[in-house]
């Protein structure tokens, strides 16, 4: 068949353009710019790169950013105090804690210290509950980006079978909830799943989010399925065998340039929403 590549960079650029225009309007109306605070713990090179990228994009759409960098030996208590201070700061609209944090820190406790009204990365349990129950709240950014890609390419989800490969609390689990809210039938698969190939073969929509290079083989993909690869591994390799899957799928996200650009675009969109709600 030969799949059409989903151009996440183009969809993200359109979203960021709209956010930029609405940010300028917000400034005209309120006399201030939305502000995103980023918190980075430790010296992980990839995390530093991601945060720099997010701060550049924040500036590009006309928002302010405040960056807090903490040493690798920061304790959970110290990190919680930093996040709680940002949560109480009226000059901050959104808070992003770059993850993963060093292993000795209780990451879940740190996420939960973010006040829900500023959880623009969609990482708290309250945000997950909002996604699960269809209540107002913030989407986890990568799952939210996946939904926006599906909408941009007019993929009908009602009645379709979606298979999620991965169950992380900020990617696999929430994307399943968002697909369920669109009336898809959702199957979660993971490292303990028996006959993973059989599950994937029955899927109309596949979301690969396991963090395992080319785990999902091309021959597993059903003819005409839509494939969203949320994995990113060394060497620009996703969680899907792209060449093999593209022969059978109708739509597929490349790595890079597919799901990745949408994550930051949704983060910026939700920061603007948080500023408006305040």
Tell me which residues are annotated as active site.
54, 98, 121
- Sorted by sequence, the CB contacts under 8 Å of residue 165 that are 6+ apart come out as 172, 189, 190, 196, 200, 206, 207, 208, 209, 210, 215, 216, 239
Helix axes 141-152 and 260-277, enclosed angle (nearest 10):
110
CA gap 144, 9 in Å, rounded: 15
Name the residue among 121, 112, 110 with its Cα closest to residue 143. Answer: 121
CA gap 194, 182 in Å, rounded: 27
CA gap 68, 38 in Å, rounded: 6
CA gap 249, 153 in Å, rounded: 14
Provide φ and ψ at 163, rounded to 5°.
-115, 125
CA gap 176, 218 in Å, rounded: 22
Tokens of 246: 């593209």
Q: What beta strand segments (E) does the chain contain?
A: 4-5, 35-41, 64-70, 94-97, 161-165, 185-189, 205-208, 226-229, 251-252
């Amino acid at each position: 068949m030969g799949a059409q590549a989903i151009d996440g960079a183009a969809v993200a650029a359109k979203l960021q353009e709209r956010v930029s225009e609405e940010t300028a309007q917000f400034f005209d109306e309120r006399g201030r710019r939305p502000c995103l605070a980023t918190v980075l713990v430790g010296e992980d090179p990839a995390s530093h790169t991601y945060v720099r990228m997010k701060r550049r994009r924040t500036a590009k759409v006309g928002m302010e950013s405040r960056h807090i960098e903490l040493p690798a030996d920061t304790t959970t208590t110290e990190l919680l105090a930093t996040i709680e201070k940002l949560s109480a700061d009226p000059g901050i609209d959104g808070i992003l804690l770059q993850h993963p944090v060093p292993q000795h820190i209780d990451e879940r406790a740190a996420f939960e210290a973010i006040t829900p009204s500023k959880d623009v990365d969609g990482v708290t349990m309250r945000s997950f509950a909002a996604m699960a129950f269809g209540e107002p709240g913030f989407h986890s950014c990568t799952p939210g980006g996946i939904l926006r890609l599906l909408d941009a390419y007019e993929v009908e989800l009602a009645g379709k079978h979606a298979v999620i490969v991965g169950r992380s609390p900020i990617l696999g689990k929430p994307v399943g909830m968002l697909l369920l809210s669109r009336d898809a039938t959702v199957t979660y698969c993971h490292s303990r799943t028996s006959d993973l190939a059989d599950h994937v073969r029955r899927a109309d929509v596949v979301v690969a989010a396991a963090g395992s290079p080319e785990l999902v083989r091309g021959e597993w993909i059903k003819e005409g399925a839509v494939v969203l690869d949320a994995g990113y591994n060394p060497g620009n390799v996703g969680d899907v065998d792209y060449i093999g899957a593209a022969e059978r799928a109708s739509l597929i996200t490349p790595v890079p340039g597919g799901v990745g650009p949408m994550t930051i675009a949704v983060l910026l969109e939700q920061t603007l929403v948080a500023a408006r709600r305040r």
